[in-house]
C-alpha cells in the first residue's frame, strides 16, 4: 500500500512539473517572439505627473543614456525571436533534470519503505513472525 501511495505522489509531482515546464516554456517563447515589437526604447519619456518631482539634470542624464543605449537595445530586441529555439532546448534540459530527480525521489522512497518494512515497522509477515516467536 505504501509503495503505491509513494509512487502515486511521485507521478503526481512529475505531472505537475511537466505542466509547469510546459506553461513557462510557452510564456517564455511568446515573450521572446514578441520582443521585436518593443523596439524604440529611445522614445521613452517621463510621465507628466512625475515631472515636477524630478530634477531637470537627472531627466537630461537619463534621456542621454537612453539615447545612447537605444540602438543597442533595439538590436537585442530584433535578435530576440531567434532565441526561441534555444529556449526550447533549455526547457527540455531543465525538465529532464527535474524528472530524473523526481524519479530518484521515488526510488529513494521505495527503498526507504522497503527498509522500514524489513526492520519490523510494517504489518508484513516478518512483523507477525517476530511476535509469534517471542
Question: 84, 29 in Cβ contact below 8 A?
Answer: yes
Res 16 pLDDT > 80: yes
Band of pLDDT at residue 126, cut at 50, 70 and 90: low
Res 133 pLDDT > 80: no
Task: Say what the pLDDT of residue 95 is.
Answer: 96
User: Which residue ranges make up each domain of the chain?
Assistant: 10-121
Q: What's the average model confidence in pLDDT over 44-66? A: 79
pTM exceeding 0.75: no
Amino acid at each position: 500500500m505504501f509503495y503505491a501511495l509513494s509512487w502515486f505522489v511521485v507521478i503526481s509531482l512529475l505531472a505537475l512539473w511537466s505542466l509547469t515546464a510546459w506553461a513557462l516554456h510557452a510564456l517564455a517563447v511568446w515573450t521572446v517572439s514578441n520582443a521585436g515589437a518593443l523596439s524604440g526604447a529611445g522614445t521613452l519619456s517621463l510621465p507628466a505627473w512625475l515631472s515636477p518631482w524630478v530634477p531637470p539634470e537627472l531627466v537630461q542624464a537619463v534621456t542621454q543614456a537612453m539615447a545612447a543605449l537605444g540602438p543597442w537595445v533595439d538590436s537585442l530586441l530584433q535578435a530576440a525571436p531567434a532565441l526561441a529555439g534555444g529556449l526550447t532546448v533549455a526547457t527540455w534540459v531543465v525538465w529532464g533534470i527535474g524528472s530524473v530527480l523526481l524519479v530518484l525521489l521515488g526510488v529513494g522512497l521505495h527503498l526507504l519503505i522497503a527498509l522500514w518494512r524489513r526492520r519490523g515497522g510494517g504489518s508484513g509477515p516478518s512483523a507477525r513472525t517476530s511476535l509469534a516467536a517471542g
